[in-house]
Each structure stands twice: as structure tokens, then as C-alpha cells.
């Protein structure tokens, strides 16, 4: 085993925490972009162990959190048709729309089902040809190639009752918008491990080249995250600002070129609305022209309507790292996991849910 690439004797959490403490000579604010990192951090209890000087804030990499209310409402409207089966990943089921959620709509009798792979949607479409199957596709670059592959498969097999709501978003443009706004005070990024498996290291280079900030592509185990934080601190200590890969065992510099190719064959980038962040150019993806017959937004005549966020809800500021969950007036009182107001509380990886469940 090549210990040089591995944790080696530093693989012990206690040792890693000690090294972090030694380097944390001032206050550092790092953003974990990815919601799965937020959950890992809380579940492993890392926050309770990090020195006070290290502050971790959660970023917008929670697809459920950044999906605008209007998109939930639109999906609910589409599911209202008698012959429609709406398929979604479980993550979206409890996100509140303006009046209802997918979970509540299912309780009222709508045909809404949870799937765990985009290919499941094709199987349902083939098994139930009399129904129109709409797949509510959310996710970032980790998930989009899989959705693209399913769309290609649908086209190849001539599955004509399969439609896609493409609510997918891209991470680097959102990060660029965040940094360009000048509002965000961050010293470095814990970059998403699995998005990076697909896109590699290059798309993040603007973080160091344009903004002189550091970023470390990090895995999801507790020791991965600790090592990622340590690597960020080392960069500061050594006066570097680079994009490094901690999650070497899964992330290659070039990402997964085939996955990217398939994604680009099927989808093209467009401006997209992010809850809390507003419109960000080239940050969402939709089906290309030649696949428009599968685009639910085109086929089902339900226009997207911009809907306001619930009053008092601070999800927007929390997603950008300005505020932390306890600063929201609704946190823990009006807004709790079993009765959430905003998506940050619904999503298992939303900052508020994680804070409520694991922190404090």
C-alpha cells in the first residue's frame, strides 16, 4: 500500500485535530459548498471538536435548498393530471411549495412516487404505457450525467411517455456569482467531492486565479473532512492559493470525461434561478432542442411562476453563508423538521435541519 498517498500515521482523528489546532492561529471561515458535507460534518461531530478559530459555514450545494418554490408548485400542478405519474428523488418529497408539498399531494391521492435512479423512471414508463411519466430531475453535476444517460436511453428505446423536468444546477457558476457579489467573506472552500468526480479540478481554478482563495476537493468521511481542513490551513501557512485534491482516491484531475460528454450531448446551459441567490447565468441545464419532446416544461402547459419565499425565512442568507440557522427568527420555533417553512429545514442536508438535529 502506498502510504505516501494515504493518511498514514496521520489517519488518526486526534492527530489530525492537533495539527489543525497548531495551524489555526487566527479566525478562519471555510465554506462547505456541498450539503452532503454539511450532514457528514454534523453526523461525525466534527464541529464539537474543531478549535473555535475554525468556523464552517454551509454553502448553496444543496439541490433541495436552492430549488425555487415556484418549481415545486409547477411540479405539483403537473402531477394533478389524472394520467400523470410524477417520479422524484426522496429528497424533494417534503419541500414546502407555496400551498403544499409532494408528500402532501401524494397523501391526497396524486400518483407521486420515490425513485432512487433515473433509470427507474424509464422502467415505470415501459411498464405503464398508458400513463405519462414525469421525472422531476434535481441535482448537480454528480447526478446530471446519470439523468442524461437515462434520457439518451429513452430516446434510443423510443420510450414516448417519459418526460423530464430539468431542475438541475451547476456548482462553479454559483460559486463564481457568490464570490463576485463581494458580500461573502470566506477564506477558502471545502469543495464537493462527488461533483468533482465528474468535473475534475479545472472548473474551480477561478477561485484561486480570480479571487486568490483556496479550495480543497474533499471526501465525505470524517477523516477526509479533517484532512481537507488541514490542507486549507497548510495553504495559508505556506502562502499558497490553489485548488488541491484531498479525495484522491475518487477524484481525477480530468474528472470523468465520458460522463461530461454525455451530459453535454443531452443538456445545454441556461440562466437559472437559485433560491436565495437569484438568477445566475449559465448555472442551470435544460434539454437540447432535439430532445424537446421529452421536456415536461414544453409539453405540459404549466408555466413557471415566480413565488415569494415565506416571510421571515432566511434560507437565502443562510445558503450564502451570511447568517447561521439560529439567527433566523423562525428557526426552532415556527420552522422545525417535522413542520418546515423553508427548504433548509426540510432537506436532510440543509443547514437548518443539520443544525437542529445535530448541533446546539
Partner 1 sequence: MKEKNILLAHGAGGKLSHDIVTKLFLPFLENELLSALDDSAVIPIERSRLAFTTDSYVVKPLFFPGGDIGRLSICGTVNDLAMVGARPLGISASFILEEGLSMEILERVLSSIKNAAMEADVMVVAGDTKVVEHGAAEGLFITTSGVGIVLEGVDIKSSRATPGDVIIISGSIGDHEIGILLARGEFSLKGEIKSDCAPLNNLVQKMLKECPEIHVMRDPTRGGLGTVLWEIANASDVGVVVDEEKIIVSEEVRGVCDLLGFDPYYLANEGKLVAFVPREDAERVLEVMKTDPLGRESVIIGKVVDENRRKVLLKTHIGGHRILEPLSSVQFPRIC
Partner 2 sequence: MCLGVPGNIVSIEGNSADVNFGGITRRVSLMLCPDVEVGDYVLVHVGFAIQRLEKEDALETLRLFEEFKKGQYE
Complex with partner 2: residue 47 or 334, whichever CB lies closer: 47
DSSP state of 68: -
42 near partner 1, judged by CB under 8 A? yes
Query: Cell digits for 296?
Result: 415536461
The number of residues making up the chain comes to 360
- Mapped onto helix, strand or coil, the DSSP state of residue 144 is helix
Nearest residue to 62 (alpha-carbon basis) of 345, 313, 314: 345
Per the listing, cell 486568490 goes with: 212
Choosing from 23, 30, 31, 36, the residue that interacts with partner 2 (CB under 8 A) is: 36
Give the whole-angstrom CA distance, residue 240 versus residue 13. Answer: 25
92 near partner 2, judged by CB under 8 A? no
Give the whole-angstrom CA distance, residue 288 versus residue 285. Answer: 9
- Mapped onto helix, strand or coil, the DSSP state of residue 110 is coil
> Which of positions 93-132 make contact with partner 1 (CB under 8 A)?
93-94, 103-104, 107-108, 114, 116-117, 120
- Mapped onto helix, strand or coil, the DSSP state of residue 248 is coil
254 near partner 2, judged by CB under 8 A? no
9 near partner 1, judged by CB under 8 A? no
Complex with partner 1: residue 6 or 185, whichever CB lies closer: 6
Beta-carbon count within 10 A of 248 CB: 13
> Which among partner 2, partner 1, none contacts residue 2 (Cβ within 5 to 8 A by kind)?
partner 2
Angle at 91 between CA 248 and CA 215, to 5 degrees: 30
> Which among partner 1, partner 2, none contacts residue 212 (Cβ within 5 to 8 A by kind)?
none
Complex with partner 1: residue 68 or 192, whichever CB lies closer: 192
Beta-carbon count within 10 A of 128 CB: 14
> Which among partner 1, partner 2, none contacts residue 43 (Cβ within 5 to 8 A by kind)?
partner 1
Window 145-174: contact mask with partner 2 (x via CB under 8 A):
xx--x--xx---------------------
Choosing from 56, 69, 259, 353, the residue that interacts with partner 2 (CB under 8 A) is: 259
> Which among partner 2, partner 1, none contacts residue 198 (Cβ within 5 to 8 A by kind)?
partner 2
Complex with partner 1: residue 196 or 214, whichever CB lies closer: 196
The answer to whether 218 and 190 have CB atoms below 8 angstroms apart is yes
Give the whole-angstrom CA distance, residue 3 versus residue 9. Answer: 9
294 near partner 2, judged by CB under 8 A? no
List contacts with partner 1 (CB under 8 A).
13-14, 35-36, 42-49, 62-64, 89-91, 93-94, 103-104, 107-108, 114, 116-117, 120, 139, 143, 222-223, 226, 336-339, 347-349, 356-360
Amino acid at each position: 500500500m502506498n502510504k505516501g498517498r494515504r493518511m498514514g500515521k496521520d489517519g488518526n482523528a486526534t492527530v489530525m485535530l492537533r495539527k489543525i489546532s497548531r495551524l489555526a492561529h487566527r479566525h478562519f471561515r471555510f465554506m462547505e459548498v456541498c450539503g452532503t458535507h454539511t450532514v457528514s460534518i454534523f453526523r461525525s461531530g466534527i464541529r464539537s471538536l474543531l478549535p473555535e478559530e475554525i468556523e464552517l459555514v454551509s454553502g448553496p450545494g444543496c439541490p433541495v435548498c436552492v430549488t425555487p418554490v415556484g418549481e415545486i408548485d409547477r411540479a405539483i400542478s403537473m402531477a394533478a393530471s389524472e394520467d400523470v405519474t410524477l417520479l422524484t428523488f426522496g429528497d424533494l418529497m417534503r419541500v414546502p411549495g407555496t400551498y403544499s408539498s409532494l408528500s402532501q399531494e401524494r397523501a391526497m391521492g396524486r400518483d407521486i412516487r420515490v425513485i432512487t435512479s433515473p433509470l427507474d423512471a424509464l422502467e415505470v414508463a415501459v411498464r405503464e404505457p398508458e400513463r405519462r411519466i414525469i421525472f422531476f430531475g434535481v441535482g448537480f453535476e454528480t447526478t446530471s450525467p446519470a439523468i442524461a444517460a437515462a434520457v439518451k436511453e429513452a430516446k434510443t428505446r423510443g420510450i414516448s411517455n417519459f418526460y423530464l423536468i430539468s431542475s438541475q444546477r451547476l456548482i462553479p457558476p454559483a460559486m463564481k456569482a457568490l464570490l463576485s457579489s463581494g458580500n461573502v467573506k470566506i477564506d477558502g472552500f471545502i469543495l464537493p467531492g462527488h461533483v468533482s468526480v465528474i468535473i475534475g479540478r479545472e472548473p474551480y481554478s477561478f477561485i484561486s486565479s480570480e479571487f486568490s482563495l483556496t479550495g480543497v476537493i474533499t471526501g465525505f468521511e470524517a477523516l477526509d473532512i479533517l484532512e481537507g481542513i488541514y490542507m486549507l490551513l497548510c495553504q495559508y501557512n505556506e502562502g499558497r492559493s490553489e485548488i488541491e485534491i484531498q479525495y484522491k482516491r475518487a477524484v481525477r484531475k480530468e474528472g470523468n470525461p465520458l460522463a461530461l460528454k454525455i451530459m453535454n450531448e443531452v443538456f445545454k446551459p441556461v440562466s437559472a434561478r437559485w433560491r436565495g441567490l437569484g438568477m445566475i447565468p449559465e448555472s442551470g441545464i435544460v434539454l437540447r432542442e432535439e430532445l424537446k419532446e421529452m421536456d415536461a416544461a414544453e409539453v405540459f402547459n404549466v408555466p413557471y411562476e415566480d413565488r415569494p419565499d415565506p416571510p421571515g425565512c432566511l434560507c437565502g442568507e443562510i445558503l450564502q453563508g451570511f447568517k447561521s440557522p439560529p439567527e433566523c427568527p423562525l428557526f426552532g420555533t415556527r420552522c422545525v423538521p417535522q413542520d418546515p417553512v423553508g427548504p433548509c429545514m426540510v432537506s436532510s442536508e440543509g443547514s437548518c435541519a443539520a443544525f437542529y438535529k445535530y448541533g446546539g
